[in-house]
């Protein structure tokens, strides 16, 4: 957070405005360096948006017009099957990206829903803005490549785990790999994310706690 003793109201306002991009800048700087000018330019490509808990960013059947960067709060993406059961694909917290890559890329209607699990502050990037951004700040090409690389590695791990591990092992791996999720997410959503039933997760957690 940008803090300090502020003498003038006008300065307060400017800092407040800048804060909307704080997590983004930190995130980008971690992977590639950006000058102050580039940061100024970068923010012009994003549309700030607040989302109340339970509000949708994307609904099944719509085209995913935005990639969303989470400045604050928490999103989830999920599909709904024929039986009406929700299957959570991903969560996204502060500093994470969310969006249906496929729909965003191809312009086809999305199979996913994305909504807010907490009141959230997002930075939205349209396809057009993305293209312009990559053109004006070619460095960002690299940023997105590294981002995708990490995302891919994470999902590969999840896939491997989902294919060869028991429910309990999957749960333990998740707790280890990303302790934030079990802390902030209701248990039945966690179960959905792991591809198991809430009942199974409840029992499995009980077993773990009994054993120690």
Partner DNA sequence: TAATATTCTTGATATAGATCAAGATAAAAT
Partner DNA sequence: ATTTTATCTTGATCTATATCAAGAATATTA
List residues binding a second copy (CB under 8 A).
Answer: 79, 81, 87, 89, 101-102, 105, 134, 138, 141-142, 144-145, 148-149, 151-153, 155-156, 158-160, 162-164, 194-195
Q: How many CB atoms lie within 10 A of CB 187?
A: 12
The least CB distance from residue 120 to a second copy, in Å, is 22
Residue 51 and residue 57 in contact, taking contact as beta carbons nearer than 8 Å? yes
Q: Which one of DNA, a second copy, none is in contact with 75 (Cβ closer than 5 to 8 A by kind)?
A: none
Q: Of 69 and 72, which has the nearer Cβ to a second copy?
A: 69
Collapsed DSSP state (helix, strand, coil) of residue 16: helix
Q: Which one of a second copy, DNA, none is in contact with 187 (Cβ closer than 5 to 8 A by kind)?
A: DNA
Q: Which one of DNA, a second copy, none is in contact with 151 (Cβ closer than 5 to 8 A by kind)?
A: a second copy
Given phi > 0 = left and psi -120 to 50 = alpha, else beta, which region is 4? left
The least CB distance from residue 187 to DNA, in Å, is 3
Q: Which one of DNA, a second copy, none is in contact with 127 (Cβ closer than 5 to 8 A by kind)?
A: none
In the DSSP assignment, the letter for residue 110 is P
Q: Which one of DNA, a second copy, none is in contact with 206 (Cβ closer than 5 to 8 A by kind)?
A: DNA
Residue 194 and residue 201 in contact, taking contact as beta carbons nearer than 8 Å? yes
Nearest to 48 by CA among 122, 118, 115: 122
Residue 94 and residue 71 in contact, taking contact as beta carbons nearer than 8 Å? yes
Helices 187-194 and 198-211 pack at an angle, to 10 degrees, of: 100
The residues facing 23 across adjacent strands are none
Q: How far apart are CA 121 and CA 71, in angstroms?
A: 5
The least CB distance from residue 75 to a second copy, in Å, is 16
Q: Of 72 and 158, which has the nearer Cβ to a second copy?
A: 158
Q: Of 55 and 197, which has the nearer Cβ to DNA?
A: 197
Q: How far apart are CA 125 and CA 56, in angstroms?
A: 16
Q: Of 95 and 198, which has the nearer Cβ to DNA?
A: 198
Q: Which one of DNA, a second copy, none is in contact with 52 (Cβ closer than 5 to 8 A by kind)?
A: none
Residues near DNA (CB under 7 A): 166-168, 186-189, 195-206
Q: Of 20 and 178, which has the nearer Cβ to a second copy?
A: 178
């Amino acid at each position: 957070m940008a803090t300090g003793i502020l003498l003038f109201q006008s300065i307060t306002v400017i800092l407040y405005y800048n804060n909307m991009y704080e997590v983004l800048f930190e995130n980008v700087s971690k992977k590639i360096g950006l000058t102050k000018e580039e940061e100024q330019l970068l923010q012009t490509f994003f549309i700030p948006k607040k989302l109340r808990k339970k509000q949708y960013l994307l609904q099944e059947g719509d085209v995913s017009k935005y990639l969303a960067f989470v400045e604050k709060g928490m999103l989830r993406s999920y599909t709904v099957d024929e039986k009406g059961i929700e299957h959570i694909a991903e969560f996204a917290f502060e500093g994470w990206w969310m969006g249906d890559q496929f729909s965003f890329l191809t312009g086809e209607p999305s199979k996913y829903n994305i909504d807010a699990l907490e009141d959230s502050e997002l930075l939205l990037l349209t396809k057009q803005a993305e293209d312009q951004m990559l053109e004006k700040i070619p460095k960002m090409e690299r940023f997105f490549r590294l981002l995708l690389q990490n995302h891919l590695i994470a999902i590969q791990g999840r896939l491997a785990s989902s294919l060869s591990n028991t429910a309990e092992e999957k749960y333990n791996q998740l707790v280890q790999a990303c302790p934030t999720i079990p802390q902030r997410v209701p248990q039945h959503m966690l179960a959905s994310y792991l591809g198991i039933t809430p009942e199974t997760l409840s029992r499995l957690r009980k077993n773990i706690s009994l054993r120690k």
